[in-house]
Amino acid sequence: MSTNTSLSFSSHELRDLLLAWVALGLAFAIFFAGGGTRAVANITEGGLLGPLLVSLLTAGIGFLLHELAHKVVAVRFGQQAEFRADYGMLFLAVMSSLAGFIFAAPGAVYHRGRITEREHGLIALAGPVTNLLLAAVFLPLLFLGAFGGSEFVGLVGSRGVTINLFLAAFNMLPFGSLDGKTVFSWSKVVFLVVFVPSVLVTLGLFVFGGLF
């Protein structure tokens, strides 16, 4: 295994990260505004800046830090790793939001080099764990908004918590190319420790709090 653990970003990668962040922010802003003509009416009446800022700070940050966590851990294990945006999927994210639903797969971190099964599992695990940590970071903002604080701060907190919990639970599903399949193959114990709480809390938000 290579011992090169320096973290660097090419100009192509930085451009892809920026484009993915902006496209996701726009897509989620439209989605949260109701999608379609309803979104256009809501944004026209209230402006785009506020919804876009909320989405950039919540969905955009959640998606991109998830991917960057994969890169950081991969590089730590001596991998060559770089994020590449999927322009077609970013376009689909914006178009689906206009239709009233959201389908977002902004791209992925691709890494190469020799690694063990454990290292591969930890690289996959880094993304969902980052989302769980981000949910904890947003939680105080949710409470600040709920107890007389700024409505904007409360909205950022609420969406930051729910989006990041959903991302953690979804990406830990043990299917296809999702992180959960790699983690499950490496360690079923680690998989259950992360997957079960993520799913239970997310389902609780659906049932008792209403997601988003």
Residues assigned a catalytic role: 67
- Containing 195, the helix (H) or strand (E) segment is helix 188-204
Alpha helices in 2-150 (DSSP H): 11-32, 36-46, 49-55, 61-76, 87-98, 117-146
Cβ distance 51 to 105 under 8 Å?
A: no
- Containing 181, the helix (H) or strand (E) segment is helix 179-186
> Around Cβ 38, how many Cβ atoms within 10 Å?
12
Give the SS3 label for residue 176. Answer: coil
**78-81: Cβ within 8 A, 24+ apart:** 78/1, 78/2, 78/3, 78/4, 78/5, 78/113, 78/115, 79/2, 79/111, 79/112, 79/113, 79/115, 79/123, 80/111, 80/112, 80/113, 81/109, 81/110, 81/111, 81/112
Kindly state the tokens that stand for 163: 């989006």
- Containing 164, the helix (H) or strand (E) segment is helix 151-171
